[in-house]
Amino acid sequence: MDRSRHTHSPPVQHGVLRRLARDTSGNTLALIAAGVVPLLALVGGGVDMGRSYLAQSRLQQACDAGVLAARKKLGSDIVVGGEMPTAVAETGQRFFNVNFGDGSYGTRNRAFALTLEPDNSISGTARVDVPTTIMNLFGYANVMLAVECQAKLNFSNTDIMFVLDTTGSMLEVNPGDSQPRIDVLRDTVKSFHAQMESSKATGTRIRYGFLPYASNVNVGGLLKSDWVVDSWTYQSRRPKPLPDATYSFYYVNYERQSGDTSSIPTYTSSTCPASTYSVSYSDTTTVSTSPHTYYYYTTETGTNYWCNNSDGNFIVNGITYNNLVQKVTWTYAYDKTVKEYTYEYRPITHDVSGVKGATGDELVHAAPLEAGTEKPNWDGVPTSYQVWPNGCIEERDTYEIDDYDNIDLTRALDLDIDLVPVPGQPATQWRPQYPDLVWARAIWWDGTGAFSPDPVEQYSNYLNPSWAGHAACPTPARKLAELDAATVASYVDNLGVGGSTYHDIGMIWGGRLLSGSGIFAGDNVDEPGKPTARHMIFLTDGETQALDVTYGAYGVEPLDRRRWDPAAPKLGLSLTGVVERRFAAACKEVKKKNITVWVIGFGTSLNPIMTECAGPGRSFEAANAAELSEVFSKIAESLGDLRISK
């Protein structure tokens, strides 16, 4: 299509030629001179029009360069009110100027204007005047040239899976930002979605999915019943009866002898003061043996403080003991024989089929598990209690890999992205996570103790990873679908944050949700005659953070030892090393499914394993909100086809 226009000055007057034609009395010289005039017009017109066409061609190139640069600068930004951002307009003008400078080819009155269209394409118009030389003698002073151009970002059918690190560090604020990382991520994803939707052509399908990850992924609600085991063994505990015990009960009476107590005035402090309270005891004096009665004296001094946190400061209260002396008398009341129990900490198998539907194709649902019994306090019979699944899973069978260049996927079923579980074959199926069932045998709450693969009997509570915050289950994952802005906003605004960073489980399940030939093949089929481009955007704000007390996708690792044996680790790898090696292996499997992987480090540096996973040009580091927006703009441009459309 001819995008240029030529406009000429008023036509030349032909009076001289007409008079010459009517004059029959001329001579040869006059005739020759008269013949030169039209020849000069013909040659001069060719020269001037040649210059004009050369200028027009260059003007069109400059116009195209300007709109392409402007559209590239716009990226995935959302424009409010339809006004083109100043930086976008300046970029377009700069590229136009570079390609067609003021006065190029002797032109004058250069002008270039950009317009942002409703579909986020950018249109441009450019014009110049080309002064004539020889044709100026014939009344053609200028040739006005005008061209049009437009740049648009087009997309083919595209599937985009956001694999998002939602661990606790996402609550931190990057230097230079005013919002936590998670809020910046929410805004950026919404902006990216809006840009993609505004740029897609009619009939184009763009789908979005989400997989938040920490030490696990919340995919339970996406699984068919046939994909889940009927029973599973958890690192748990059960009460064990001991011989009956008899205890004596006493009445206790306190009598003040001297001294007193006083409350300190409440005050606010940046620190909570250490208590100075102390108590001493006198010797015991027996009053009677039937009933057994005895007494002793206590002397209390110092101040006992307690503090409540308020906006970073402490509200301090306390009681001061002014040499308070009390007589404490114990008088026998009765004896009581009670049933005694301890806990036996060991692997325990539970029937978990309650989470499954009536048919194999029905989705898994949240169902309570009758967890057996809990020991009572003092006298009584242990009672049953319920625990609930959290939506996260334990991975299917795997092995401790000793050669990452030759992984046996017939054993490492967790790394087989496309393997569909076989009913009745638990090795191929996933297991529901029940955090309240699991105990870190035999680790105490202060971190002391040691993991014991063997059963242990203990009256007290060992560490429960869930209660200690080490069994985080992210927001439920969402399969690929065409989503409107409200749905995307609702999802990302409700992303939960917490837990430790295990990149491998995110890569594994991001691949499963994207693959066109795995467990979700029926959902991910291409439209007839329209192949789908599949992209994973993998975003993290930190390095691998593997903790041995975590209850994650592979159980409690020092106890379950499915992929790592702390007593004799293969290749001498730490748990962190195992997670990173498996991330790399999973990434290779994902890319075999014709999936393009983009990796973003947000507020952190990427290690070589991450950059190698993405490949050249597909890994990015963003230190703040502005840089993250720029990264997503680059990805949007790469997903689409930025081209001249006019």
pLDDT averaged per 10 residues, the chain (length 646): 50 50 53 51 58 87 93 70 85 94 89 88 92 63 88 87 97 95 97 89 92 98 97 94 90 97 94 95 95 97 92 90 98 90 94 92 89 65 81 98 97 98 97 96 94 94 94 97 97 96 98 97 93 96 94 98 97 97 98 97 96 96 96 88 72
Maximum alpha-carbon separation in the chain: 166
Task: Supply the pLDDT for residue 426.
Answer: 98
Inter-residue contact 474 to 491 (CB < 8 Å) = no
Residue found under tokens 């996402």? 170
Concatenating the DSSP letter of every residue in 82-128 gives TPPPHHHHHHHHHHHHHHS-TTGGG-EEEEEEEEE-TTS-EEEEEEE
d(CA 271, CA 347): 44
- In angstroms, the Cα distances linking 413 to 144, 252, 369, 408, 508 are 71, 64, 27, 9, 11
Give the number of other CB atoms < 10 A from CB of residue 119.
12
Q: Name the 3-class secondary structure at 510.
A: helix
Burial 439-449 (b: 16+ CB within 10 A, else e): bbbbbeeeeeb
The DSSP symbol for 600 reads E
For 4, the token pair is 């240029």
Task: Supply the pLDDT for residue 573.
Answer: 97
d(CA 479, CA 631): 24
pTM of the predicted structure, to 2 decimals: 0.74
Q: Give the side-chain half-sphere CA count within 13 A for 634.
A: 16
- Name residue 262's beta-bridge partners: 320
The continuous run of DSSP H or E covering 31 comes out as helix 28-74
The continuous run of DSSP H or E covering 96 comes out as helix 86-99
Task: Supply the pLDDT for residue 464.
Answer: 95
Task: Supply the pLDDT for residue 341.
Answer: 86
Concatenating the DSSP letter of every residue in 254-291 gives EEEEEEEEEEPPPEEESSPPPP--EEEE---EEEEETT
Inter-residue contact 191 to 76 (CB < 8 Å) = yes
Give the number of other CB atoms < 10 A from CB of residue 167.
24
Burial (CB < 10 A; 0-12, 13-18, 19+), residue 145, is: buried
d(CA 97, CA 326): 94
Task: Supply the pLDDT for residue 581.
Answer: 98
Inter-residue contact 73 to 630 (CB < 8 Å) = no
The DSSP symbol for 363 reads B
| Sequence-separated (6 or more) residues with CB below 8 Å from residue 446 | none
Amino acid found at 525: V
Give the torsion sign (CA, 503, 506, 507, 508).
positive
Burial (CB < 10 A; 0-12, 13-18, 19+), residue 600, is: buried
Paired sense of beta strands 595-602 and 619-622, if any: parallel
Backbone angles phi, psi at 112, to 5 degrees: -145, 130
d(CA 614, CA 620): 9
d(CA 617, CA 612): 10
Axis-axis angle for helices 86-99, 28-74 (nearest 10)? 150
Query: Mind listing the domains of the chain with CATH numbers?
Result: 4-153 (no CATH), 158-218+473-644 (3.40.50.410), 240-343 (no CATH)
d(CA 63, CA 112): 8
Task: Supply the pLDDT for residue 269.
Answer: 92
Task: Supply the pLDDT for residue 9.
Answer: 46
Residue found under tokens 């625990």? 387
